[in-house]
Structure 1
Amino acid sequence: MIAKEFTNYIFKNNIIRFGEFRLKSGRLSPYFFNFGAFNSASKLSSLGEFYASTIIEKKIDFDVIFGPAYKGIPIALSTALSLNKKDYPDVPFSFNRKEIKQYGEGGQIIGSKIKGKRVLAVDDVLTSGKTIRNTKEIIESEGGILYAFLVALDREEKGLNTELSALEEAARECNVKIYSVANISNIIEYLNENYDKNHKFNKSVREYIEIHGSKK
């Protein structure tokens, strides 16, 4: 199972960290998905493999892979390369600039054109859904269709003003299919299998999810 393999990988390589971390949502989380730990060629290659395998396993259909700046850029590139190694049809990819370039080739998008294309966007973690909304705006401004969104980890948290998960909320609002390589349920399963239930990591995560977890 890809989700379980990925969960084992992020624990083994210290990509998931425990402590106190302030999120974009303002919540104080006992765990953090440290994307910056994908800091070598081998780790980035492994990340692309997990994304590519998830795309194939879940039969996600698309025309172009898009990586929203900044974290989405290396994810889009490594995923496209991994799909190519798996004899997947040659995958176009693109990403955006934070600021529109006014000289040279100009514009906001670098890479493959997305006008009229079904776009699969990739990013690291889904917390509030804000990135999905921003990405949809960028893609539609270029004439593309945000068809699906794939993240490494779905935190499975409810929105700030709803009992729906951030995933469900963003999916409904943006009319987009959202997928994840793994989710917080996989993290809890790993903790239960490898730590006593009263261990500080295990206990703090379960308590946090009890308060902020979605009811889906």
Structure 2
Amino acid sequence: MKLTLPTWLTLLRIVMIPVLVLVFYLPYKWTNFASAAIFGLAALTDWLDGWIARRYDLQSAFGAFLDPVADKLMVAVALFLIVQGHPTAWMAVWAAVIVGREIAVSALREWMAEIGQRAKVRVAVIGKVKTTAQMIALLCLLYSVAPHTPMQDIWMGTQVFHIGDWTLAIASILTLWSGLQYLHAAWPSLREDERLARENAKAKKNA
């Protein structure tokens, strides 16, 4: 299997996950900047690998599989760090909504692929808006909840935190909305597949 440049960028994004965790907990005053910068760089590679793949026709089946896995891992780990850094009920709810939706939609896409209907659950515009809001929120929150934010940065960190907190709430609402849209698009196919399964079971029973 030949690895293309977009796939290498995706692999780099996965390698950056443990680096993000390590930097987040380092006992230095610059870790809030570094944590946000690492996540921002990961988000940039996510856009860049897709652009390169489309621009230079470097798409691959392995890359198509790995890219969303890398994205979901990075987002999930960032959310876990943020909840640990700011352990409130609301933050845990937003994190659970986003992670739970990603798991559910991934399972839905896998099911639709099995029945040859994956195209019906392609990424919609609202999904892209949700992703943008989510990335902004995580950048702001990683900057403002790192354990060793210096005292002179507390005021600015508080303002950034509020921006991230509200943006994450908006992203969570959009997450639920887009998830329901995917389910609505897939529902007829799921019902049809269930009907065919019942008919096949009945035919085998009567055979």
TM-score tier by shorter-chain length is under 0.3
Larger RCO of the pair (alpha carbons < 8 Å, separation 6+):
2
TM-score (ref. length: structure 2):
0.26
Structure label with greater radius of gyration: 2
Indicate the structure with greater helix content. 2
